[in-house]
Structure 1
Amino acid sequence: MVQEHAFEQEIKSYKSRQNATVKLIEIISNLWFNRSVELIFFRNQIVDRRVSHILNLHQASKELADRPISIFETLQLAEAMQHLNLAPSRIDIGKLALKMRMDNIEEEDTLYFIKKELLPAQEHRSFEPKDVVLYGFGRIGRLLARELISKVASGHQLRLRAIVTRDNIDEKTLRKRANLLQSDSIHGEFDGIVEVDITKESLIINGTTVRFISAKSPEEIDYTKYGIKDALIIDNTGAFRDDKELSRHLSSKGAKQVLLTAPGKGIPNIVYGVNNDMINTKKDNVFSAASCTTNAISPILEVIQQKWGIVHGHIETIHSYTNDQNLVDNMHKKSRRGRAAALNMVITETGAGSAVAKVLPKLVGKLTSNAIRVPVPNGSLAILKLQLEKSTSVDTLNLSIKESALDGPLVEQIKFSNNDELVSSDIIGTTTASVFDAPATIVSDDGKNVVLYVWYDNEYGYTHQVMRLARHIAGVRRYTYY
C-alpha cells in the first residue's frame, strides 16, 4: 500500500511538472513571436520545443548546479518577465534561475530581481532589420535558411529575402528545393511550413516570401528589383575565396556586405566570440566565417593560451565525410578522397593549424594539423595535443573550460560536457561551436603536455557561428543575458 501511494505521488509530481512546462512554453512563444525575446536554457534552444525536451534539459542541468534547476523556478521567472518592456533580446533563463538561487531571492522578490538583472534589456536600443541574401543553397545554405526564418520573430534582426542559385527557376526545381529544405536526413524535419509560389518564383516559408534568383555570376543581379537594399550576401558556394572574387558581389545593386562561409584569402577570417573585435564593420565589407574546424578549436585554444600559454601542438581532426568526396571509388583531384566516403577512413590535409593562427596570432608557427575523414555524415572531433608553458592538472584544466562555458565572452562558443558516454551522434544539433569532452582530458605527470578532445557539429554548430557573425557584421546586435 505504501509503495502504491508513493507511485501515485510520483505520477502526480510528474504531471505537475508537465503542466508547469505547458505554461512555460506558452510564455516562451508569446515573448518570441510577439516581442522578439528569445529564451534559452543554458544555451539550449527552447522555442518550439516539446514538453519532454524542456523537462529533460532541466534534469540535465544537474551538471551545472548543485541540483537540477526545476521547471517551477524557470516558470516563476518567465511569468515575471512578461511584465517587463524588453527590447529584442536573447536571455538564458537557466542562468537567471541559477543566479536567483545563489542569491537566495525569495519568490515574492522575483519581479524586483528580474527588473534589476534585465535592466539593460529594458533600455536596449532596437536596430533596423537587415536584408539577407543566400548565395548558394547547399548544406550550410539550407540550415541558414531554416535558422533565419525561425529567428525572424516579429521582423527584427536578419530578414532572409532571396536565395541565388544557378538553376532555372521552374516549378519542378522549386519543389525540389522546397523538399530539401523541409526534410533533412541528418537534422530531421523543418519545424515550419514551406510552400511553392511559382508565379513569384519563390518559396513561402512560414509566411515569409523568399525569392529565388537564377544567376551565373554576381554581377548580373540587381537586388533592388526585388525590393532588397543594403543586403548582406552570405556566400555558401565556395566558388569565390579571395577578396577580389568576393568583391564581385558588391557590384550587384542592393548588395552592401559579403560573408563567406569558408576560409578566405586576403579578408578577415573571423571566429565569432574570439576575434570579432578586430574587424571594422563600417570600413570593411567582405568577411570570412573561417571553417567549421577553426570555429570549433579556436575558443578552446584561446582559453588554454591565455591561462597556461602554448609552446607548440598538433591538431588531428576526425571529420565526417563531405560532399566533395566520392560516394563510390572514382577519380578525384586530391589524394585518397577518390575512395568511397561511406566505406573508408581517409587521411587528408586540413588548414586548421594555419587558419587558427589567423584568428589567434600568438599561435603563428606553433601548430601542425592533419585530418581523417570517417564514414559518418555529420559530427566531428578535434584532438588537440599541446605542450604548455605552465603546468596544470586534469581537474584544473577542466574547471577552467567549464567556467569559460558558463561565464565570459565564450559562453556561446563552448559547451562543457561531463558525460563519459558521449559519442558523435549526441552532439548533432548542438548550437555551440565546441563541445568539450571533460572525461577524455589527458595531462602528463609534469602537467605540461595535454591532450584535449573537442567535438563539434560541423554543420549546425558552424551555422550558428555564421549567424552570430552575420548579426555582428550587419549591426543588428541584440541584448543578451548569459
Structure 2
Amino acid sequence: MSFIETYEKELAFQADRRRATVEFIKIVSDLWYDKAIELVLFRNQLIDRNVSQILNLHEYAGEFVGKPISIFDSVEIAQAIKTLDLPPAKLDIGKLTYEFQLDDQKHSNAMAFVAQKLKHASKFESIKPKDVVLYGFGRIGRLVARELMTRTGSGNQLRLRAIVTRGKIDQTVLEKRASLLRNDSVHGEFSGNVIADAKNNALIINGTTVKIISANNPEDIDYTAYGINNALVIDNTGVFRDKEALNRHLTSKGVDKVLLTAPGKGVPNIVHGVNHLEYDPNTVNIFSAASCTTNAITPILKAIQDKYGIESGHLETIHAYTNDQNLVDNFHSKYRRGRAAALNMVITETGAGKAVAKALPTLEGKLTSNAIRVPVPNGSLAILNLELQTETTVNAINDIIKESALVGPLVEQIKYEMSDELVSSDIVGSSAPSIFDSKATITSANGKNAILYIWYDNEYGYSHQVVRLAKHIAKVRRFTYY
C-alpha cells in the first residue's frame, strides 16, 4: 500500500471515529436529560464534552486498563443502555465497555451483556429531590453552584434554590455575583448562562431561578417563605465551625440538614468514599466534608493501610496560596502569612495529619504534618512519607492504587495518573480529590519505607467531594455501576 493510500485510509478511519463520537455524544445527552442516567468514562464526565475531548478520554481509558477502548464499542454499549428501562443512574461506560471486551462472547450481544450487568437497577429505590441552599458564595460556594447547575438535568437530585450572602442586594451587587459565577480566573468560563434579576433578588442560572437572600445570622431566615422546605444548607463561609454554631442553621424554618465545607468540631468529619457510610443521614443532621488535603490523602492512606499497615508517617503538603494570605506584605495574625502570597513560599501548619484519624481511626497518632503555601493560585501536592508494617515495592504499591482506582469504593476518589510529565496546572479541573502520581513513587531498599505523591485540585476536586457527600446526606444517590 502506498503512502497516499495509507493516508487516505487513515483519514477515512478518523472520519468514522468522529461520526461515531457525535452519535455517542447525542446518546449521552439523551440519557441524561430524558432518563436522568449519567454516563462517565472511568469517572471522567462526558456531559458537555466535544468530539476531541471524548476521543482523548477514550485514549486515557485504554492506557489505564492496558487495552484499547474503542469509541465504536462505547456507542454499542450506550445504545444498549438507552433501550433498557432503568431508574436514574450513574454508569461507568468505560468499565462496561472493558468488561464487554473481556466477556469472551458469553453473551450473544451488547444488549444481553448490559441487561445482565445492570439487572439489579430495577430494585433500586426511587429518590426524592432535595432543596439546597448555599450559605456563602466564595471560591467553594461558586464551584459547588457551577456543579449543581451543570448537573441539574431533570432536577431529580439536588436542586439549588437559594444563596445566602451578607449586605444589601441590588442590581449592581447581583451583576457582580453573576460575573464571578460566569468567569473564573482559574477554572475558566462557566458552561452556562447567568442573568442578574434585581426585580426578584435572584440569579437566573441556566433558566432556573436561584434566590439571593441577605442575612447576618442563620436563624433570621425563613426559607419556607421562598418555597424551600426540608433543605440541605451547605455552609461554605468558614465562620461556623462547631456543632453549636452549625446548629443555628437548623433553627431556620425549612432546613433539616447542614453540611460544612471545612473541618468541623463535634460533628462527623467525612471523606466521601472512605467513611460516609458510618453515619446515617436519618439520625445525623450536621456533617463536615473535612478539608481538601484530608480528602486528597485519606483515600490513598486507606488503600495502603488495608494492604500493608502503616507504622508511622509524615505528610508535607505543597499547597496553593489561599484567600487568607496577603496579596502584598501586610499585617496578619500569622507571621509568615502576612508576606506576599504570590511572591513567596510560606511555611504554615495543616491539621490534615490529625484529621485523617477522624476518617481512619487506625491511624490515630501515627501521622505528623506540615504545609508550604506556594505561589500558584490552585493545584496542590501532598507528599506522604510512610513507614510500613509489611515490605513492598514500587510496582506493588502502584498496582494496589491502580486497582483501587478501577474497582471498589474509592473509584470516584482516586485517579491513577500515568503521565511522565505531570505538573500542577495539568490537574486543575480534575473531579477526583486524589490524583496518584504513579511515576513518582519511591520505596526504600528494605521495602518498609514508601514515599507517595498525590496531586489535588484543592478547589474543584474538593467541591466534587462536597457534592458527593451532599447527595449521600440528602439520600438522592442513584443506582451506580462503576
Give the TM-score band, short-chain normalised. Answer: over 0.9
Contact 1:315/1:367 (CA < 8 Å) preserved in 2?
yes
TM-score (norm 2): 0.99
Q: CA deviation at 1:138?
A: 0.4
- Which residue number in structure 2 is paired with residue 206 of structure 1? 206
Q: CA deviation at 1:155?
A: 1.4
Separation (CA, whole Å) in 2 of partners of 1:279 and 1:306: 21
Separation (CA, whole Å) in 2 of partners of 1:65 and 1:275: 27
- Which residue number in structure 2 is paired with residue 122 of structure 1? 122
Contact 1:84/1:122 (CA < 8 Å) preserved in 2?
no
Separation (CA, whole Å) in 2 of partners of 1:156 and 1:237: 27
- Which residue number in structure 2 is paired with residue 284 of structure 1? 284
Deviations 1:319-361 (A, max 9, x none): 0000111110101101200111111110000001111111111
SS in 1 for 2:287: strand
- Which residue number in structure 2 is paired with residue 144 of structure 1? 144
Q: CA deviation at 1:290?
A: 0.1
Contact 1:378/1:457 (CA < 8 Å) preserved in 2?
yes
Residue identity in the other structure for 2:138: G
Further displaced range: 181-190 or 99-108: 99-108
- Which residue number in structure 1 is paired with residue 176 of structure 2? 176
Residue identity in the other structure for 1:39: L
- Which residue number in structure 2 is paired with residue 402 of structure 1? 402
Further displaced range: 107-116 or 301-310: 107-116
Separation (CA, whole Å) in 1 of partners of 2:66 and 2:330: 55
- Which residue number in structure 2 is paired with residue 311 of structure 1? 311
Separation (CA, whole Å) in 1 of partners of 2:110 and 2:284: 44
Further displaced range: 59-68 or 315-324: 59-68
Work out whether 1:456 is the aligned partner of 2:456.
yes
Q: CA deviation at 1:226?
A: 0.1
- Which residue number in structure 2 is paired with residue 64 of structure 1? 64
Separation (CA, whole Å) in 1 of partners of 2:3 and 2:106: 34
Alignment of structure 1 residues 346-385 onto 2, 5 Å: 346-385=346-385
Alignment of structure 1 residues 49-198 onto 2, 5 Å: 49-105=49-105, 109-198=109-198
Q: CA deviation at 1:120?
A: 2.1
Separation (CA, whole Å) in 2 of partners of 1:401 and 1:67: 18
Separation (CA, whole Å) in 1 of partners of 2:331 and 2:340: 11
Separation (CA, whole Å) in 2 of partners of 1:51 and 1:86: 26
Residue identity in the other structure for 1:266: G
Q: CA deviation at 1:144?
A: 0.5
SS in 1 for 2:213: strand
- Which residue number in structure 2 is paired with residue 16 of structure 1? 16
Deviations 1:401-457 (A, max 9, x none): 000000001001101111111111111111111000111000001100110000001
Contact 1:270/1:288 (CA < 8 Å) preserved in 2?
yes
SS in 2 for 1:426: helix
Contact 2:41/2:61 (CA < 8 Å) preserved in 1?
no
- Which residue number in structure 1 is paired with residue 477 of structure 2? 477
Residue identity in the other structure for 2:289: A
Structure 1: stretches of 5+ with no match in the other structure? none
Separation (CA, whole Å) in 2 of partners of 1:85 and 1:150: 25
Further displaced range: 276-285 or 140-149: 276-285
- Which residue number in structure 2 is paired with residue 441 of structure 1? 441
- Which residue number in structure 1 is paired with residue 252 of structure 2? 252
Further displaced range: 112-121 or 173-182: 112-121
Deviations 1:164-219 (A, max 9, x none): 00031101011111111011111111111111211111111111110000000101
- Which residue number in structure 1 is paired with residue 413 of structure 2? 413
- Which residue number in structure 2 is paired with residue 425 of structure 1? 425
Q: CA deviation at 1:67?
A: 2.7
SS in 2 for 1:297: helix
Further displaced range: 105-114 or 369-378: 105-114
- Which residue number in structure 2 is paired with residue 220 of structure 1? 220
SS in 2 for 1:416: strand
Deviations 1:35-60 (A, max 9, x none): 11000011100101010000011112
SS in 1 for 2:39: strand
Structure 1 segments of 4+ aligned residues over 3 angstroms from their partners: 105-108
Q: CA deviation at 1:103?
A: 1.0
Identity level (%):
61
In structure 2, the CA distance between the partners of 1:254 and 1:443, relative to structure 1 (3 Å rule), is same
SS in 2 for 1:315: strand
Separation (CA, whole Å) in 1 of partners of 2:414 and 2:287: 23
Separation (CA, whole Å) in 2 of partners of 1:88 and 1:427: 30
Separation (CA, whole Å) in 1 of partners of 2:21 and 2:7: 21
- Which residue number in structure 1 is paired with residue 232 of structure 2? 232
Q: CA deviation at 1:106?
A: 8.0
Separation (CA, whole Å) in 2 of partners of 1:404 and 1:165: 40
Structure 2: stretches of 5+ with no match in the other structure? none
Separation (CA, whole Å) in 2 of partners of 1:79 and 1:282: 37
Separation (CA, whole Å) in 1 of partners of 2:112 and 2:419: 37
Residue identity in the other structure for 2:254: G
Separation (CA, whole Å) in 2 of partners of 1:386 and 1:324: 30
Further displaced range: 119-128 or 190-199: 119-128
Over the aligned positions, Cα root-mean-square deviation in angstroms equals 1.1
Contact 2:28/2:47 (CA < 8 Å) preserved in 1?
yes
Q: CA deviation at 1:121?
A: 2.3
Q: CA deviation at 1:105?
A: 3.5
- Which residue number in structure 1 is paired with residue 389 of structure 2? 389
Q: CA deviation at 1:124?
A: 1.9
Q: CA deviation at 1:108?
A: 5.4
Q: CA deviation at 1:107?
A: 9.0
Contact 1:167/1:173 (CA < 8 Å) preserved in 2?
no
Separation (CA, whole Å) in 2 of partners of 1:83 and 1:124: 18
Separation (CA, whole Å) in 2 of partners of 1:19 and 1:278: 46
Contact 2:41/2:93 (CA < 8 Å) preserved in 1?
yes
Contact 2:302/2:360 (CA < 8 Å) preserved in 1?
yes
Separation (CA, whole Å) in 2 of partners of 1:282 and 1:26: 38
SS in 2 for 1:64: helix
SS in 1 for 2:189: coil
Contact 1:105/1:113 (CA < 8 Å) preserved in 2?
no
TM-score (norm 1): 0.99
Contact 2:382/2:453 (CA < 8 Å) preserved in 1?
yes
Separation (CA, whole Å) in 1 of partners of 2:120 and 2:460: 30
Deviations 1:447-476 (A, max 9, x none): 001100000010111011011110111111
Contact 1:203/1:210 (CA < 8 Å) preserved in 2?
yes
